């Protein structure tokens, strides 16, 4: 007689079971918000405010349209966030950076960089062109004047600082429009290296703290 005790009978838990399907990972709130903002920047930049729908933005981000309203409240507020994101970065990053270095960065980014996703034009310029509604234009004006030109003003001293700051902004934005939208031949063929020393001379003249002729 075999004295070996029989092993335990396999129970339901010891039998081979298929691996459970992994649950889809919940998307992080910050990642979802960032995805919506990225999609909105691209849509608004390409199609303008009126040509962009909330469903289009949500579809591009791969989320439910309800999340647009959860995270931003409205299409208008989402647009305001997108405009804020398109104001060229680095203006306020280091208050010790000289004005000439900042304007050189902006000259490259706004005028000469290849924005292929936006048909070769900086998205801020596209938004400026496509702002057909009063409240949209007001949001753009606020962002450009406060976030963009405000940093110029803070770096300038002496009389007419606000005016000189706006002249700098007009120079850079105007160059962007002339090169990408108008297609002016000389500026269109110029390189960043050719344009920078000329722009530097204008920046230096506007940055001088002089009373000038009145």
24 or 202, which is more confident: 202
Q: What would the two tokens of residue 91 be?
A: 């203006």
Chain-centroid distance, C-alpha 21: 38
Whether 23 shows a pLDDT value over 80: the answer reads no
Owner of token pair 């900086």: 122
**Confidence band of 25 (pLDDT split at 50, 70, 90):** very low
Share of the chain above pLDDT 90, in %: 29
**Confidence band of 198 (pLDDT split at 50, 70, 90):** very high
Q: What is the pTM of this model?
A: 0.64
- Residue ranges per structural domain of the chain: 27-74, 99-207
Owner of token pair 């000289």: 98
d(CA 52, CA 32): 19
Whether 130 shows a pLDDT value over 80: the answer reads no
pLDDT tens per residue, range 140-159: 777 777 777 887 888 888 89
49 or 10, which is more confident: 49
Rounded to 5 degrees, φ, ψ at 213 are -75, 140
Q: For the chain, what is the radius of gyration of the CA atoms? A: 27
d(CA 132, CA 49): 8
Whether 132 shows a pLDDT value over 80: the answer reads no
Owner of token pair 């989402």: 78
Whether 85 shows a pLDDT value over 60: the answer reads yes
Do residues 58 and 67 touch, judged by C-beta distance below 8 A?
A: yes
Do residues 78 and 68 touch, judged by C-beta distance below 8 A?
A: yes
What pLDDT was estimated at residue 154? Answer: 83
**Which of 17-31, 65-79, 100-114 has the weakest average pLDDT?**
17-31
Owner of token pair 């034009």: 121
Average pLDDT over residues 108-129: 71
| Most confident by average pLDDT, 34-43, 66-75, 101-110 | 66-75
Average pLDDT over residues 198-207: 93
Residues 20-42 as b/e (b if ≥16 CB within 10 A, e otherwise) read: eeeeeeeeeeeebbebbbebbbb
- What is 27-74's CATH superfamily? Homeodomain-like (1.10.10.60)
d(CA 203, CA 155): 12
82 or 170, which is more confident: 170
d(CA 88, CA 67): 27
Q: What would the two tokens of residue 207 be?
A: 């940055």
What pLDDT was estimated at residue 164? Answer: 93
């Amino acid at each position: 007689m075999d004295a070996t005790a029989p092993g335990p009978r396999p129970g339901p838990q010891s039998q081979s079971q298929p691996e459970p399907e992994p649950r889809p990972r919940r998307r992080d709130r910050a990642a979802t918000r960032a995805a919506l903002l990225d999609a909105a920047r691209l849509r608004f930049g390409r199609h303008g405010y009126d040509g962009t729908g909330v469903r289009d933005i949500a579809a591009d981000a791969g989320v439910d349209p309800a999340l647009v309203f959860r995270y931003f409240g409205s299409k208008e507020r989402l647009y305001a966030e997108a405009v804020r994101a398109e104001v060229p970065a680095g203006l306020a990053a280091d208050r010790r950076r000289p004005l000439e270095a900042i304007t050189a960065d902006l000259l490259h980014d706004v005028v000469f960089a290849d924005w292929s996703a936006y048909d070769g034009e900086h998205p801020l310029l596209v938004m400026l062109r496509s702002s057909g509604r009063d409240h949209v234009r007001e949001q753009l004006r606020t962002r450009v004047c406060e976030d963009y030109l405000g940093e110029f003003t803070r770096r300038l001293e002496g009389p007419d600082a606000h005016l000189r700051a706006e002249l700098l902004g007009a120079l850079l934005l105007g160059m962007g429009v002339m090169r990408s939208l108008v297609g002016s031949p000389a500026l269109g063929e110029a390189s960043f290296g050719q344009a920078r020393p000329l722009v530097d001379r204008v920046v230096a003249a506007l940055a001088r703290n002089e009373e000038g002729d009145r």
